[in-house]
Structure 1
């Protein structure tokens, strides 16, 4: 009989037993948490929450001078505990599989070129190999079985809600996600010209929601799509335009929704036909086959390399 596993709502973080650090940025640690009859692997992703705008020196419990020079000085500070301002946000994956452990481990990155041929031979079979259970949590959101109270907009085509990365409070750190309902849409590669109305609707509703709820004008948010994505159900990220340095905004991985719409309007099958270049971590399931296949990708030397 399979071991009964505690639900996420009943996870006791005080019972977490540390094993090792998977990554330092953000701090991600592997350990175990108790289930009904045994301890199972658990991943904790620990991040500092954004400082509330209401924080003042009165909220400091103590300070320590680091250095001073003329009119400048540097200090360490410790905040008093405030129930309305948590210090940390902790994301938990429990029970964690070996796939999760690899995903959240620090990785060496290499740039790969994915031609349409390599997509058809290597990437699409990899995507198709994932069981529906891997994205059951997306289906639960779309069906209303999970996070129903967080839905900001819902239609027969997609739903818009806060991403788990956001603390739901700090507007400059705003992070939403639009989830497409069509399960046949797995990634950027599946988009064609007939999907433009869907993409335009996501863009329009995202701008409407952030204006009505948080007063962000058009241009106040950045909408983009990942390739490769972290999960294979098509979704669009919506983040505050002032955010910079997010891990998912790396060149090659993030593709602006506006650009995608423009490309599909000009060439209906361009995302099917083009070669994508992106970084791939050495723990990713596509790393070994795509790296091995790079010799098949034509390399065009520059004029300088040709000696011209």
Structure 2
């Protein structure tokens, strides 16, 4: 493989080097396709900490999704065809293992769709955790009582290594603390205060309002999940709600009723954050009952505690939470 001349050449040559293995997940009605394959080891840059450079092929996940207009994405991709599927690609974002590209299906669509016909999301090298995450698998419901949380779940969370609070979903291996401390991603911030920040999620292409996806991250690292929320946090949650509406309205014309705000339980990492998406955006399992808890509902439950004015434990210390877990996680 010759050395590419620019970013576009790097992306295109990389896609042409992709070897298809199998489909992990397909949602043709939403024009989404997730496939597993391999890239040459030259696809990624080895960090200075690497002691040796592998010459083997690297496992990779490639996820295609439409942007502003419906695209009839083929439900099958064969070896060597992924690069030909896109007539041109442009690298938009890249971290150590996460990358996304804007892609056009024909040269004539470049002017009509400057943001790309499709968004190409790449994880390389992909670990077994990534592959399980994007593979289709059955789920089971878990009923987490307060007692189970105290005896099993909370000790598990407290015993997690510090790297589990690294924000892998948005920016590869950039740690949450690096963003909150002002060392990383400051150009991405849409709002910042002494209590929380708001910035785009990497899942979003920054253009397609229908798939708008922002994240609010609180600065208080003692709040790990909704289990840690108390009456004293009502003002914080309402402030996140208010500022998210202001940002989405000012920048993209999305008004209050056009946003869905929710938290995951269990979350992917234990530093409290709120997902802020277009109300019409289908964000997969993460936005469905069994994992997503609406911010409005959480605030309402805390306000019941506030009105009660008793000395008993908070609502999220007393409640049994039911959530779905993929079979591979149980």
The aligned residue for residue 271 of structure 1 is 316
Change (3 A) 1:221 1:92: same
Would you say 1:240 and 2:242 are equivalent positions?
no
Q: Find the residue that maps to 2:151 and give its secondary structure.
A: helix
2:33 corresponds, among 10, 27, 31, to 27
Q: Find the residue that maps to 2:110 and give its secondary structure.
A: coil
Would you say 1:41 and 2:59 are equivalent positions?
yes
1:82 corresponds, among 79, 102, 110, to 110
Kindly indicate whether the alpha-carbon contact (under 8 Å) linking 1:29 and 1:45 is maintained by their aligned counterparts in 2: yes
Task: Tell me how far 1:240 sits from its aligned partner.
Answer: 1.7
After the TM superposition, list the runs of 4 or more consecutive aligned residues in structure 1 that deviate by more than 4 angstroms.
none
Change (3 A) 1:124 1:46: farther
For 1:41 and 1:125, the matched residues in 2 are separated by 33
Change (3 A) 1:244 1:91: closer
Kindly indicate whether the alpha-carbon contact (under 8 Å) linking 1:105 and 1:283 is maintained by their aligned counterparts in 2: no
Task: Tell me how far 1:242 sits from its aligned partner.
Answer: 3.0
Change (3 A) 1:260 1:46: same
Task: Tell me how far 1:263 sits from its aligned partner.
Answer: 0.8
For 2:117 and 2:146, the matched residues in 1 are separated by 46
The aligned residue for residue 131 of structure 2 is 101
Change (3 A) 1:125 1:29: farther
Q: Aligned ranges for residues 99-138 of structure 1 at < 5 Å?
A: 99-136=129-166, 137=174, 138=176
Task: Tell me how far 1:134 sits from its aligned partner.
Answer: 3.1
List per-residue Cα deviations over 1:219-264 (Å, max 9, x = no partner): 2212111112233221111112233574322123221111111111
The aligned residue for residue 150 of structure 1 is 188
Instruction: Specify which structure has the bigger relative contact order, considering alpha-carbon pairs within 8 angstroms and separated by 6 or more residues.
Output: 1
List per-residue Cα deviations over 1:35-93 (Å, max 9, x = no partner): 552243332222222329xxxxxxxxxxxxxxxxxxxxxxxxx7633161312212222
Q: Find the residue that maps to 1:224 and give its secondary structure.
A: strand
Q: Find the residue that maps to 2:234 and give its secondary structure.
A: helix
The aligned residue for residue 262 of structure 1 is 300
Choose 1 or 2 for highest CA Rg.
1
Kindly indicate whether the alpha-carbon contact (under 8 Å) linking 2:285 and 2:291 is maintained by their aligned counterparts in 1: no
Would you say 1:204 and 2:242 are equivalent positions?
yes
Task: Tell me how far 1:161 sits from its aligned partner.
Answer: 1.0
Would you say 1:249 and 2:287 are equivalent positions?
yes
For 1:271 and 1:231, the matched residues in 2 are separated by 18
Change (3 A) 1:245 1:28: closer
Q: Find the residue that maps to 1:183 and give its secondary structure.
A: coil
The TM-score with structure 1 as length reference comes to 0.73
The aligned residue for residue 224 of structure 2 is 186
The TM-score with structure 2 as length reference comes to 0.68
Unaligned runs of 5+ in 2: 1-9, 47-52, 71-104, 167-173, 307-313
Q: Find the residue that maps to 1:278 and give its secondary structure.
A: strand
Across the aligned residues of Structure 1 and Structure 2, the Cα RMSD in angstroms comes to 2.5
